[in-house]
Chains A and B, each alone.
Chain A
C-alpha cells in the first residue's frame, strides 16, 4: 500500500510561537485517518502546511507520492506552485473555519469553487446539496455556522478527489447532519478515496476512523489503530456522598469536599456492584475528555 501523505520532520514556527515541531506522519492509501488533539495542538498548522498555505521552517511533505517541497532545501516559487496546483486537483479540502466571499450566494460559491477543476461538478453538487439539505439560493453571509460548514463540505466533495483533507469538519453541524456527512465520507472511502480528518471529538474518530494520530503541543505523541486507543480509554467517575469505594481501583483519585473523582478502567458491572448500598447522593460517569485520556492513560501505555 502506498502512502498518500508522508510528513517528515516538519517544523513550523509563527515568529517565536511554536506551530509544530519535528512532526512525522504517514497516512496510507485507502485509510480513514483521524488526527486528534486539543485546540492549539497544531492540527490546523499541520494541515495548512501540507497544503502549501504555510511555508515550513524545516522538513518535507509528500502527497500522493509527489514532493511538495518544504523548508530548508525546498523547491521554491513557481516549481513548487505547479506541483501544488496539480496536487490540489486531487484533494478535497475543508477548512476548519468556513469563510466565503460575503457578497456571493451559496450557488455562486459552489460554482466558483467548481470552476477551478477541469470537470463538470454540477451533478455531484446537486446530489450533495440535496443530501445535506443546503439551500443554494441564500446569500452566504446570511447562513448559520452549520450551513456554512455544509457549503464547505460540498466544495470539498463535489469534484471527486482522491484524498480528502478535512479540518474539524463536524464542528457546528447538528448530529443528523454529522451522520449524513460521515455516511458520505464512508462511501467515498469505500470507493477508494483516502480520508484524513482532524478532530477534537474522540467519539467520531472512534466510530469512523481506522487509525488515528494524537498531536499534543506540536508533536505527535501516538499513532495507532483506533481499536487499541478505544481499549485503553477509561471512564471518569464522580461520586458524592462517599469517598471510599471498597474493592475498586481508583486511578488518579481526587478527593472532593463531599466525595471523590477518579478514572476507572475495569468492568462496569463491578463498579455498579460496588456502588450499591452506599449512601450516594450524586453520581456521574462520563467519557474523559481527550486530553485526559492521552495525558493520563494512552501516552503512558505506549511508552
Chain B
C-alpha cells in the first residue's frame, strides 16, 4: 500500500510540474505553455510549476511563452538532426524563437545570433515562416546549433493575442518537422 501511495503521490506530482498537460499546461501541437503562469493569482499547480522552474515568467499583459521538447511526431528534439519549423505564427508584436539546452543555456553558434527574431527573418509570400535549426548548412532561415544531446525550442510571443479569444485562428503554431539526422 505504501509503495503504491508513494509512487502515485510523488509520480503524479512530478508529472504535474514537469509535463502538466492535464492540470495547468496547454498544448498546441508540439508546443506547451502554462497560460496561467503570468497571472496575479496562479492556480496551485501553476504555482508549483513556477516554484520548480524558477524562471522569470512573462506577464499576461506581456506575452506568452511556448516550449517544445519534441517534434510534431513526438520524438524528442536532438541536436544531431535537422529540423524545419514551418507554418504561421499567432498575432504578436514580435516573437523570438531560441533553441536552448534543457538547463536554459543557449546552444546557437557563439558568434552568431542566439535565436530567430521575427523582425529579422525571411518569410514566404503568404506570411508563413520556414526556419531551419541544425548543425549542417540549411536553406532560407538557418540557425546553426552546437553540441550534442537533447534541446528545447523556446518560443516567446510578445504582446500576443494567443489564448485571449480574439480570433479563432490565433492558436495555430508552426509545426516542427524532423528532416534528417
Partners in one complex: no
Interface positions of B (Cβ within 8 A of A): none
